Amino acid sequence: MMLREGACDRAALRGPGRERRVRRSRGAALALLFVLLFTAAVSRGDLNDAIVYAGEAEVPPNLLDDRAVQKAESRVRTLELADRRTPELTNDRIETNHARAIYEQLTYGKMALQEEKRYRVPERPTVYLTFDDGPSKLTEQVLDILAEEGIAATFFVLGEAAERHADLVKRMAQEGHAIGNHTYNHRYAELYEEFGGLWDQVLQTDEIIYQLTGKRSRLFRAPGGTHQNFDPFYAYYMEQAGYIVYDWDVDSGDAKRRGVPADEILYNVVSAPLKHEIHVLLHDGAGHEETVKALPEIIRYYQEQGYAFDVLDPSVQPRQFSLGKLKWKRKISFQQHEQFMERIMDFRTLRENGLREHSLKSWRQDPAAEERLLLQVNGRNMVLSEREFYIVDGHYQVPLDRLTAVLDGRLWKVERKAAGGPLEKAEDMRPQIADGMKGPAAVDPARMHNRYRAEIAGHMIVYDPAMQSMIVRGPGGEERSLTSVQLEEIDGRLFVPLRGTVEMLGGSIPSYSVDQEMKQVRIDMPNTGYGRGVWWKVSGQYRMGSIWSHPLLKQSTVTL
């Protein structure tokens, strides 16, 4: 009897813990049941009740509505959970669930852009002059002024204007200016009442630019700017299509009304705050004669402030306005969202293939009347044939082996397994540099991908075409990296951005010129005192040292 009572006492002592375990088990079972029921609803596609905005609201909730954003994020996480826990879902169903998750994020005002991008930061303060709404008869005067000053700018052209002034668009490209897409006719109602209207004009203008220049541009500027015209859907679609959308941070005010005088335009520019990078909005469309008058003084002002001039390209961080409350009553259903995404992905695939075909075509042109590019580096000259350079978004792409040679560097081609395996091969490419031979044939991309390592002026640069990235390690061990770099392998040679490489090494391109015989680019490299780098193995890791020659003492020392 005593034993039975003791057993009862022990059972009583265990009671509360057991009850807690039972409650937890029941809670887990209920949670699992909820997930299974929700998954069943997902597999049937019964999510209409969850899509509140698609059937009710005219515009997305305020972007600062935390509860709406949290609600959308919660639904996204639930959809992702359903995908992970139901392996019987087909790939099509998983893709549909993901598309719905993105759709809900956009509906509730949450931007759904891709991974964070890293941009090139120029060494010198830089101003980007941009001209909208052209070309027109005035554009010829603008181009003359820019040529006289030896600087380049960016022109966001209208498709209908480009058709009327095809010769001016061709001249822009020939003189090294960047060309961007500004839609076909600039009519707001056609562009912003529904995305299909904007997209049709983007495609139309893209084709016109391509037919006139042989190149497709990734630069886009929204007529009137993105503020109150774009919403998260518009921003997401343009980003998915491969476009970089550029607003501005200095408005010259030349389009605020008809006939804004030149002195007012100049005042608007010089009164704006100075930054390391400045995007200036100007117009070269019809009726902007006063802008042409003000342009020389605008250029002179920035020159006096120590600014360099450059064109926009995908490596330049865009200026983008806050979206704000829409001016337009529009809504996008999930079905429309899927249709837009299908069109956009088809366009992106075709365009990327077209860019590749254009790059390869440059190797097969008739050399009878070929253009040449002269690189002038601290008094040394190198001439590149037409097969050894091309232009992307207003910037020169040149072979890394030739650029390394004129900068008195060394180059290795490193082959690695595609899955990030061990180092397979490292080949010194100096013989190819010396005799002008092409590099070895490209390795099968299904098996391996190439990386290129260049040693220039005490710096080590690693280019990774597969990742479209470059990493620079300086003599002191400091490291900088850049993503979204235009890198392309053609017939076993790597083509790299000329300006991007020079600036990552601390150099600059102060001027360029074009004449009937050849294009010329002057490159200034800093005199750091470093000669050829030397790699030393220290504690199992490689570090760069250098052979340093003092110009007065005429002696060399080795430092780590």
HEC profile of 183-202: CCCCCHHHHHCCHHHHHHHH
Q: Are 388 and 398 in contact (CB under 8 A)?
A: yes
Going by pLDDT thresholds of 50, 70 and 90, the confidence category of residue 245 is very high
Which one has a higher pLDDT value, 295 or 560? 295
Q: Domain check: are 143 and 79 in the same one? A: no
Q: Domain check: are 385 and 328 in the same one? A: no
**Which residues, 6+ apart, have CB-to-CB distance to 327 below 8 Å?**
192, 228, 229
Residue 60 has pLDDT above 50, yes or no: no
Give the residue ranges of DSSP H helices in 231-325.
232-240, 262-270, 289-304
Average pLDDT of the residues in 226-248: 95
CATH assignment of the domain containing 258:
3.20.20.370
Q: Domain check: are 388 and 341 in the same one? A: no
CA 447 to chain centre: 28
CA distance 362 to 385: 11
CA distance 526 to 458: 11
Instruction: Please give the angle made by the CA atoms of 363, 367 and 368, to the nearest 5 degrees.
Output: 160
The reply to whether 283 belongs to the active site is: yes
Residue 428 has pLDDT above 50, yes or no: no
CA 221 to chain centre: 14
Q: Are 510 and 524 in contact (CB under 8 A)?
A: yes
Q: Domain check: are 274 and 395 in the same one? A: no
Which one has a higher pLDDT value, 233 or 390? 233
pLDDT at 433: 34
Q: If DSSP states are collapsed to H, E and C, what string results for 36-74?
A: HHHHHHHHHCCCHHHCHHHHCCCCCCCCCCHHHHHHHHH
pLDDT tens digits, residue range 515-554? 656 788 888 887 644 444 444 444 444 444 433 333 333 3
CA distance 279 to 154: 10
Going by pLDDT thresholds of 50, 70 and 90, the confidence category of residue 113 is low
Burial of 532 (0-12, 13-18, 19+ CB in 10 A): middle
The token pair that represents 346 in the structure block: 């088809």
Residue 110 has pLDDT above 80, yes or no: no
Going by pLDDT thresholds of 50, 70 and 90, the confidence category of residue 422 is very low
| DSSP secondary structure code for residue 535 in this structure | E
Assess if residue 32 is contained within a domain: no
Assess if residue 285 is contained within a domain: yes
pLDDT tens digits, residue range 4-27? 444 444 444 445 555 555 566 666
Q: Domain check: are 550 and 513 in the same one? A: yes
Assess if residue 5 is contained within a domain: no
Q: Are 157 and 209 in contact (CB under 8 A)?
A: yes
**Which residues, 6+ apart, have CB-to-CB distance to 339 below 8 Å?**
none
Q: Domain check: are 506 and 399 in the same one? A: yes
Residue 101 has pLDDT above 50, yes or no: yes
Residue 359 has pLDDT above 70, yes or no: no
pLDDT at 406: 87
Going by pLDDT thresholds of 50, 70 and 90, the confidence category of residue 360 is very low
> Can you tell me whether residue 101 is helix, strand or coil?
helix
Assess if residue 29 is contained within a domain: no
Q: Domain check: are 421 and 550 in the same one? A: yes
Average pLDDT of the residues in 221-249: 95
Q: Are 282 and 291 in contact (CB under 8 A)?
A: yes
Which one has a higher pLDDT value, 443 or 407? 407
Q: If DSSP states are collapsed to H, E and C, what string results for 134-195?
A: ECCHHHHHHHHHHHHHCCCCEEEECHHHHHHCHHHHHHHHHCCCEEEECCCCCCHHHHHCCH
CA 449 to chain centre: 22
The reply to whether 366 belongs to the active site is: no
Residue 176 has pLDDT above 50, yes or no: yes
**Which residues, 6+ apart, have CB-to-CB distance to 41 below 8 Å?**
47
Token pair 């209920």 in the structure block, residue: 30
End-of-domain residue from the set 112, 144, 171: 112
Burial of 441 (0-12, 13-18, 19+ CB in 10 A): exposed
| Most confident region among 50-64, 75-89, 347-361 by mean pLDDT | 347-361
Q: Domain check: are 219 and 354 in the same one? A: yes
Q: Domain check: are 356 and 377 in the same one? A: no
Which of 132, 133, 206, 393 is catalytic? The answer is: 132
Domain that holds residue 159: 126-361
Q: Domain check: are 203 and 342 in the same one? A: yes
Assess if residue 24 is contained within a domain: no
Token pair 């015989």 in the structure block, residue: 517
Q: Of 10-24, 182-196, 232-246, 386-400, which gets the smallest average pLDDT? A: 10-24
Which one has a higher pLDDT value, 12 or 481? 481
Q: Of 21-25, 74-78, 249-253, 357-361, which gets the smallest average pLDDT? A: 357-361
CA distance 474 to 509: 20
Q: Are 522 and 509 in contact (CB under 8 A)?
A: yes
CA distance 94 to 92: 5
Domain count, the chain: 3
Which one has a higher pLDDT value, 396 or 205? 205
Residue 166 has pLDDT above 80, yes or no: yes
Q: Could you tell me which residues are beta bridge partners of residue 278?
A: 127
Which of 283, 288, 395, 449 is catalytic? The answer is: 283
**Which residues, 6+ apart, have CB-to-CB distance to 436 below 8 Å?**
none
Assess if residue 10 is contained within a domain: no
Question: Taking all residues of the chain, what is their mean pLDDT, rounded to a whole number?
Answer: 76
Assess if residue 118 is contained within a domain: no
pLDDT at 320: 92
Q: Of 97-106, 163-172, 265-274, 541-550, which gets the smallest average pLDDT? A: 541-550
Q: Domain check: are 98 and 169 in the same one? A: no
Q: Of 18-32, 172-186, 345-359, which gets the smallest average pLDDT? A: 18-32
CA distance 314 to 499: 13
End-of-domain residue from the set 361, 381, 409: 361
| DSSP secondary structure code for residue 302 in this structure | H
pLDDT at 450: 80
Q: For 232-256, give one letter per residue: b (16+ CB within 10 A) or e.
A: bbbbbbbbbbbbbbbbbebbbbbbe
Assess if residue 482 is contained within a domain: yes
Residue 134 has pLDDT above 50, yes or no: yes
Nearest CA-CA partner of 407 in 504, 544, 543? 504
Which one has a higher pLDDT value, 538 or 135? 135
Q: Domain check: are 340 and 428 in the same one? A: no
pLDDT at 309: 97
> Can you tell me whether residue 275 is helix, strand or coil?
coil
Going by pLDDT thresholds of 50, 70 and 90, the confidence category of residue 39 is low
Average pLDDT of the residues in 296-301: 98
Q: Could you tell me which residues are beta bridge partners of residue 495?
A: 399, 488
